[in-house]
A and B are shown apart, each in its own frame.
Chain A
């Protein structure tokens, strides 16, 4: 069996499963953000006309993280957050991360750094980038609010069809200033936006073995942009290192890894040795070009951060490029770390000071700028270059603007010039 088949078999109490089987896996972790407000409505609706009281099946397995509009941008959001806050209190949800500088942040960073995600777990989230958590060897996928309400009530994901898996084998050493973001953009370009629809991307190979968990999170985060149900890196020594050293996990960690004779729908090989920085051009994530084809394009706003690229190593490379230099006039730069913890680490390492000295604005952790929901909207005719994960029309709050996606190194190098710039060329 593949990794996901093994996870689904175990979670469904079956000796084995195969592609196309319909199973009801027990859910290990169910995550929501502000859209918990809608989940609560649907959850209460399920109990209408029954003699039962609305009760979450296991509050210790539910996580609620405020990140999409923090601090609240409107009375409406604040009122929704208030309702959710009251609900998690009533239901005794302990994995609740409010708007705070100590334990707050973006859900897809909070889950791993808090040690909530384990290899072999079934993780569902009311957010499409829940695929991120495959980085820790879990089967993690996005669902809608009504489906989450059903999970809250029953503790299982209903009617899940075992998905086929594409094995992605990655070889070669990255060149300087090329990394996981460039790899996943390249792969999405190859697969197309729907090439992995209803499928799992399982990552293997010497290059993946060398990637740290931060980079693996970037990789799995964007698996959904190829349509994938999930991305997964089978757990290994790095997974255990991350969970022990960075997430403070002290109890037993079990690895779930694929069988040697696992059946894959397709095996895709990628050699990264010659890969140059990749750019996803407007208005689809699969419109990917090598940087040479778009270098020189004027950029009005640079964004570094998000669940895709807002971790400490992302900020470190940006700080290295920006330190002692200035963001170009006519270009504004927004940086938002993925969590309060990362923000504090970046402060301690001097990155935040370097960013601000260079002219960047450092914002609190949250999703706002990525989806034009809260701060960082673009003006008519403006262009953004961003380390986030989507560039759909209107994504940054304005349908009359354009978003290009890139790595933190490209974003930082481009901030200095005000045009899309290859950091490999600027490095002397």
Chain B
């Protein structure tokens, strides 16, 4: 069970999640300090570790639209947030899978900041309202990358297998 610590609306862009002016910063050890940098209050809570790992960030539709910058994912991953949203933009979704950021696509989700949610296998249960909302599972092709532990181990395995086959 986890608490919704932050709720945002539809079409939250990567410029809002990780402002472009910080793009020179790339290291996943540094990007978390700049997550939602333009929302001083939430950014301060993240930086001062007031948000426990496994907390839920609740998004609307098209979460993560815009730039392909991977910092928008690594900055959230650094805080081990779970992103529950009605839908995700394509590149953000793929980046999240590649880096192992936990994302849950839940088109009908109804919840508010402070609600306690439980992410079940096929649904999200809002314990505060008692209502359950179905999850849209990831396509098989994406699940394979998650199962491998992210794209880097997935590619590493392919690379080594390929090198062996070429011998």
Interface residues of A (CB under 8 A from B): 22, 34-35, 37-38, 41-42, 45-50, 52, 68-69, 73-74, 76-77, 80, 125-128, 130, 142-147, 149-150, 153-154, 158-161, 193-194, 197-198, 227, 229, 284, 286, 371-373, 377, 390, 392-395, 397, 399
Contacts and interface: CB of A to CB of B under 8 A. Distances in A.
B21 A397 contact: yes
B121 to A, nearest CB: 22
A158 to B, nearest CB: 7
Given A128-B67, A390-B13, A50 B94 contact: no
A354 B77 CA distance: 49
B73 A144 contact: yes
B41 to A, nearest CB: 13
Given A394-B16, A394-B38, A22 B141 contact: yes
17 contacts: A47-B156, A50-B159, A77-B24, A144-B69, A145-B70, A146-B99, A154-B158, A161-B139, A194-B61, A197-B62, A197-B87, A197-B90, A227-B65, A227-B89, A371-B21, A393-B15, A394-B15
A50 B62 contact: no
Contact of A128 (B73, B91, B155): B91
A284 B23 contact: no
Contacts, number: 157
Give chain B's interface residue range (CB within 8 Å of chain A): 35 or more
Interface string B142-166: 1011000011101110111011000
B24 A80 contact: yes
A59 B141 CA distance: 28
A141 to B, nearest CB: 8
A159 B16 contact: no
B144 A193 contact: no
B89 A194 contact: yes
A35 B23 contact: yes
A413 to B, nearest CB: 27
Contacts of B20: 371-373, 394-395, 397
A78 to B, nearest CB: 9
B55 interface: no
Contacts of B95: 144, 146-147
Nearest to B27: A41
B11 interface: yes
B15 A69 contact: no
B68 A395 contact: no
Contact of B98 (A52, A125, A144, A227): A144
B140 interface: yes
A143 B11 contact: no
Contacts of B54: none
B78 interface: no
B66 interface: yes
A46 B155 CA distance: 7
B145 A159 contact: yes
Contacts of A68: 23
Contacts of B145: 158-159
A128 B163 CA distance: 32
Nearest to A155: B162
Interface string B23-51: 11111000000000010000000000000
Contacts of A390: 13, 15, 66
Which residue, A41, A46, A154, A377, has most C-beta atoms of chain B within 10 A?
Answer: A46
Which residue, B62, B65, B142, has most C-beta atoms of chain A within 10 A?
Answer: B65
Which residue, A69, A127, A158, has most C-beta atoms of chain B within 10 A?
Answer: A158
A394 B151 CA distance: 31
Please give me the 6 A-B residue pairs with the lowest Cβ-Cβ distance, nearest first: A371-B20, A144-B95, A194-B62, A392-B13, A399-B38, A159-B141
